[in-house]
Amino acid sequence: MTFSDWYHEQMKTLMEAFMAKSNPTGAEPVPDAALMNETQNLQIKVEPGKTYHIRMVNIGAFAGQYVWFEGHKMRIVEVDGVYVKEAEADVVYITAAQRVSVLLTTKNDTDANFAVVGSMDTVSRKPVL
Amino acid sequence: MLVNSSFACSAHYSGNDRLLLYSPCPGSPVKMLSTTLFSLVSSLGLAFGATVTHDFEIGWVKANPDGAFERDAIGINGKWPIPTIEVNKGDRLVVKVVNKLGDRSTSLHFHGLFQNGTSHMDGPSQVTQCGIAPGASFTYNFTVRKAKQGIMHDWPSNKQNRLISRAHTGITLTTRASTQTASEAR
**Residues in chain A within 8 Å Cβ distance of B80:** 38
Nearest Cα residue to B39 out of B173, B182, B178? B178
ipTM score of complex: 0.87
Residue of B nearest to A120 (CA): B2
Alpha-carbon distance of B115 to A79, in angstroms, equals 19
Shortest CA distance from B160: residue in chain A? A15
Nearest to A89 by CA among A107, A103, A108, A109: A103
Mean pLDDT, residues A108-112 taken together: 90
CB contacts of B29 in chain A (<8 Å) are: 44
Interface test with A, best of B3, B4, B71 (most A CBs within 10 A): B4
Judge whether residue A41 has pLDDT over 80.
yes
Cis amide prior to B81 (ω within 30 degrees): yes
Q: Does the beta-carbon distance from A99 to B169 stay under 8 Å?
A: no
Q: Which of A11, A35, A76, A91 to mutate to test the interface with B (most CBs of B within 10 A)?
A: A11
Task: Indicate yes or no: CB of B151 within 8 angstroms of CB of A11.
Answer: no
Tell me which residue of B25, B89, B20 sits closest to B10, measured CA to CA. Answer: B25
The answer to whether A84 contacts B10, with C-beta atoms less than 8 Å apart, is no
pLDDT score of B47: 52
What are the backbone dihedrals phi and psi of residue B20, each rounded to the nearest 5 degrees, phi first? -115, 135
Distance CA A96, CA A63 (A): 6
Q: Which residue has the higher pLDDT, A123 or B148?
A: A123
pLDDT of residue B150: 53
Whether residue B27 and residue A9 make contact (CB cut-off 8 A), yes or no, is no
A6/B7 touch (CB, cutoff 8 Å), yes or no: no
Is A8–B165 a contact, with Cβ atoms under 8 angstroms apart? no
Residue A37 contacts residue B82 (beta carbons within 8 Å): no
Q: What homologous superfamily does CATH list for A2-125? A: Cupredoxins -  blue copper proteins (2.60.40.420)
Q: Where are the domains of chain B?
A: 19-180
Q: What are phi and psi of B64, to 5 degrees?
A: -150, 60
- CA dist., res. B185 & res. A47, Å (int): 29
B153 → chain A, closest CA residue: A59
The CATH architecture one would assign to domain B19-180 is Sandwich (2.60)
> At residue A47, does pLDDT exceed 90?
yes
Buried b (16+ CB within 10 A) or exposed e, B94-129: ebebbbbbeebbbbbbbbbbbbeebeebbbbbeebb
Of A1, A11, A44, the CB nearest to B161: A11
pLDDT of residue A114: 94
Flag whether pLDDT at A21 surpasses 70.
yes
- Which range has the top average pLDDT, A49-53, A95-99, B1-5, B86-90? A49-53
pTM: 0.75
Judge whether residue A110 has pLDDT over 60.
Answer: yes
pLDDT confidence tier of residue A33, bands split at 50, 70 and 90: very high
Residue A28 is predicted with a pLDDT of 84
pLDDT tens for chain B, 186 residues long, are 344 443 333 333 333 333 334 344 333 333 333 444 444 444 444 456 789 899 999 999 999 999 999 988 888 899 888 776 777 777 888 999 999 999 888 888 887 778 889 999 988 888 899 999 999 999 999 988 755 555 555 555 443 333 333 333 333 333 333 322 222 222
Nearest CA in chain A to B3: A119
Q: What is the pLDDT of residue B90?
A: 78
